[in-house]
Amino acid sequence: MRIVIATNGSRGDTEPYAALGQGLRRRGHEVRLVASKSYEALAGVAGIDFFPLDVDMPERLGGGEGQRWLSDGGGTRASVRGFRKFVTPMAEQFMTATAHACADADAIVFSHLGANAYHVAEARGVPACTAEYLPRHPTGAYPSHLVPGGRSLGRLGNRLSHTAAQQTMWRTRRPAVNEWRTTELGLAPLPWFAGQARSFARDRMPRLCGYSSTVVPRPPDWPRYAQITGYWFLDAPGREPAPELARFVGEGPPPVYVGFGSMVPPDPEATAATIREALARAGVRGVLLADPERIESTPELLVVREAPHDWLFPRTAAVVHHGGAGTTAAALRAGVPNVVVPFFVDQPFWGSRVAALGAGPDPVPFPELSVPRLADAVARAVGDGGMAERAAGVGERIRAEDGVAVACEYLERWLGGGPPVPGRRRRFTFGV
């Protein structure tokens, strides 16, 4: 099959889909990844075709609108405002590009940030599947990740919170999506109330969830067409650390890694000073992901521009990170305690899951980051033997999974069953 995988966003929004594409390619399929041009190298590592969307995500996140979104925090209103001002215009910009990228596809797999591809699949009459790294399918077991604090609202309230989140996001996209559907794709407009989500539910759109059930168990009220597969890790043997990093790690006790991925703090120098003092107060060495030309290394803190997570994380005493889905997955797989410093959107959710598993202390939201709070969290992470033991157990269970293989099995079973065209009444099935 010629399979197109469509996504958008940061590296964490892209690498899992490159991993999924790599698995499909190894099983004999032709695969094309549609993503920000910033991450073409990921497609190269996976050995798959690449269709670049003309956006530099690190540059966008470091710009004015991206910085305003990052500094808003993780509340519902801030997340919705950020999507409306930052994500929605970007998605609209790439509608036509997505149609071109999917023009010869036999099947389409898309993330929630690549959902434009669903409408292309409907117009072309090819099967489509949604693939996500975040539990977004409605359930009564827990609320939407946009609910502040992640506190349960009861079974009915939890389910309604997912509907409310879907409707809120749909409202920001509906005018542009429906204009595109009617003027360019020749499709009928979708209704005002949760139109896209209702289409998925009506057709029983297969949903692959690329995370571990150890971290987020499968809710008992989910339908069979929503399946948790395990994490999608990109297999990239040979990713070796820089000699300076390998030397620093080997010359002393395991350091604490601190890195916020694609999140760009408003004042990197001030944030680095907070981190440096907090690690010193906790009595640990550190590796900081930052710009070495702006932040100076010291004998106790090595500043690096990049570091291979799969090599470094198992060699650390703890990992301090922003709670992005991909970084959380890598840090939990390493089996070391996690200290999550969430900025926004789904990051508070992953931070709460880490704490619930006992694999790390309570999250320290970035707007509340201070020397005492970070020092206390790091000291607990490196000094609590029970926490280290629980983190090691979580890592062992994640390493025993093969999420890419499971996801590919589901996709092939679905493709082999001759699923219907999106938008028709006949329903999808995985045959499970």
What CATH number did the domain enclosing 357 receive?
3.40.50.2000
Q: Would 237 be classed as within a structural domain?
A: no
Burial 342-372 (b: 16+ CB within 10 A, else e): bbbbbbbbbbbbbbebbbbbebbbbeebebe
Question: Are 154 and 278 within one domain?
Answer: no
Question: Are 256 and 213 within one domain?
Answer: no
Q: Would 164 be classed as within a structural domain?
A: yes
Name 108's bridge partners: 4, 128
Question: Residue 325 corresponds to which tokens in the numbers above?
Answer: 């889905």
| Centroid of chain to Cα 233 | 12
Question: Are 132 and 273 within one domain?
Answer: no
Question: Are 296 and 361 within one domain?
Answer: yes
Q: How far apart are CA 427 and CA 157, in angstroms?
A: 28
Nearest Cα residue to 366 out of 351, 354, 353: 351
Question: Are 30 and 171 within one domain?
Answer: yes
Question: Are 338 and 314 within one domain?
Answer: yes
Burial 67-103 (b: 16+ CB within 10 A, else e): eebbebbbebebbbebbeebbbebbbebbebbbebbe
List, edge to edge, every strand of the sheet that includes 128-132.
Answer: 49-53, 30-36, 2-6, 107-110, 128-132, 207-209, 226-228
Question: Are 349 and 366 within one domain?
Answer: yes
Q: Would 384 be classed as within a structural domain?
A: yes
Q: Would 422 be classed as within a structural domain?
A: no
Question: Are 336 and 220 within one domain?
Answer: no
Whether the Cβ atoms of residue 127 and residue 414 lie closer than 8 Å to each other: yes
Q: How many domains does the chain have?
A: 2
Question: Are 155 and 265 within one domain?
Answer: no
In this prediction, residue 20 carries a pLDDT of: 97
Containing structural domain, residue 203: 2-231+402-416
Q: Output the CA torsion sign for 370, 367, 90, 13.
A: positive
Nearest Cα residue to 359 out of 402, 398, 404: 398
Question: Are 182 and 305 within one domain?
Answer: no
In this prediction, residue 87 carries a pLDDT of: 65
For residue 200, CA distances in Å to 9, 43, 110, 130, 416 come to 22, 28, 12, 9, 20
At 288 the three-state DSSP class reads: strand
Q: Would 430 be classed as within a structural domain?
A: no
At 36 the three-state DSSP class reads: strand
At 129 the three-state DSSP class reads: strand
Q: Would 290 be classed as within a structural domain?
A: yes
Name 36's bridge partners: 53
Q: Would 431 be classed as within a structural domain?
A: no
pTM: 0.88
In this prediction, residue 336 carries a pLDDT of: 98
Q: How far apart are CA 221 and CA 7, in angstroms?
A: 27
In this prediction, residue 165 carries a pLDDT of: 84
Q: How far apart are CA 310 and CA 332, in angstroms?
A: 11
In this prediction, residue 90 carries a pLDDT of: 67
In this prediction, residue 420 carries a pLDDT of: 38
Q: Would 278 be classed as within a structural domain?
A: yes
Question: Are 54 and 94 within one domain?
Answer: yes
Question: Are 185 and 41 within one domain?
Answer: yes
In this prediction, residue 235 carries a pLDDT of: 79
Mean pLDDT by 10 residues, the chain (432 residues): 93 94 97 95 96 77 59 57 64 85 95 91 91 92 83 91 84 87 92 63 79 96 93 84 96 96 88 98 97 95 94 97 95 98 90 96 95 98 98 98 96 68 40 32
